[in-house]
């Protein structure tokens, strides 16, 4: 037998084990990346859902102001005209809550003195799965006629 071939016995096994080790490391890295991306996507999804819930709450607060036929009276010493006690549940685990606070009233130029702009602040909060929360603050103005 040739001496050269006798020295290379088991070289194929070592090479196959090396390739398998490299493939195992690459597979572990791929699994780590995929898991991280999945967590990031879920976090982004829940954050977006909570933001849109807060946006829905701000719309509900503005709609509440629009439905008032006369300036609403204060309900507490913090100038709230509407104070929510609990969250409103939307689809699934999404929920929202809003408070409306009176800010000020002022004369609207070009209108008679009996018309006043009442300015309100809507503090809206939205919540989603996995304790994700968002807040939106909106300023809304409504024109009322006083004294009639």
Residue corresponding to tokens 């996995």: 130
Is 3 a residue whose pLDDT tops 60? no
Q: CA angle, 39 as apex, 38 and 42 as ends, to 5°?
A: 85
Which structural domain range is residue 78 located in?
A: 3-145
* Number of structural domains found in the chain: 1
* Phi/psi at 72 (5° precision): -70, 150
Measured CA distances, 9 to 22, 50, 84 (Å): 22, 64, 80
Q: What is the mean pLDDT of residues 12-31?
A: 95
The overall average pLDDT reported for the chain is 91
Give per-residue pLDDT as tens, 99-127.
999 999 999 999 998 999 999 999 999 99
Whether the predicted pLDDT of 138 surpasses 80: yes
Task: Identify the bridge partners of residue 136 per DSSP, sorted by sequence position.
Answer: 124
Minimum mean pLDDT among 9-18, 19-28, 67-76: which range? 9-18
pLDDT at residue 129, as a whole number? 81
CA 111 to chain centre: 40
Select from 48, 80, 89 the least CA-distant residue to 61.
Answer: 80
């Amino acid at each position: 037998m040739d001496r050269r071939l006798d020295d290379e016995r088991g070289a194929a096994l070592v090479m196959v084990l090396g390739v398998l080790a490299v493939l195992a490391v690459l597979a572990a890295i791929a699994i780590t990346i995929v898991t991280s991306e999945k967590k990031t996507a879920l976090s982004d999804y829940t954050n977006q859902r909570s933001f849109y819930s807060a946006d829905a709450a701000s719309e509900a607060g503005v709609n509440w102001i629009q439905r008032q036929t006369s300036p609403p009276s204060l309900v507490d010493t913090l100038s709230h005209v509407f104070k929510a006690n609990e969250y409103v549940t939307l689809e699934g685990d999404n929920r929202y809550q809003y408070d409306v606070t009176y800010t000020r009233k002022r004369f609207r130029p070009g209108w008679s003195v009996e018309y006043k702009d009442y300015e309100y602040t809507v503090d809206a909060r939205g919540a989603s799965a996995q304790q994700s929360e968002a807040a939106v603050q909106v300023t809304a103005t409504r024109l009322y006629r006083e004294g009639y």
